[in-house]
Amino acid sequence: MGSTPQFSGNKLDNWIKARFADEKEVLNILQEYGVVSDNCVNAQDVGNDREAMMWVARNFEHFQKHKV
């Protein structure tokens, strides 16, 4: 049986875990559009997680296109 994800205070990290999404792919898309820093190697590194999630909500088609 799959393990239950451990949720954190980081909204982006929680969204990725809840969707069982590919964290690297999500970060690559957000970095490509300048939403998060290229220095972020995982979702926990994203300091502007609320802003990132607002961008995701407004631009969800980018994630559907990439099958995230």
Q: Which residue has the tokens 């809840």?
A: 18
Q: Which of 46, 4, 14 has its CA nearest to residue 29? A: 46
Task: Specify the higher pLDDT residue, 32 or 3.
Answer: 32
For 5, the token pair is 């994800």
- Sorted by where each begins, the domain ranges of the chain are 11-65
Indicate the pTM of the whole model: 0.82
Rounded to whole angstroms, the Cα distance separating 66 from 68 reads 6
pLDDT tens sequence across 45-66: 999 999 999 999 999 888 777 6
Assign 32 to helix, strand or coil: helix
> What's the full length of the chain, in residues?
68
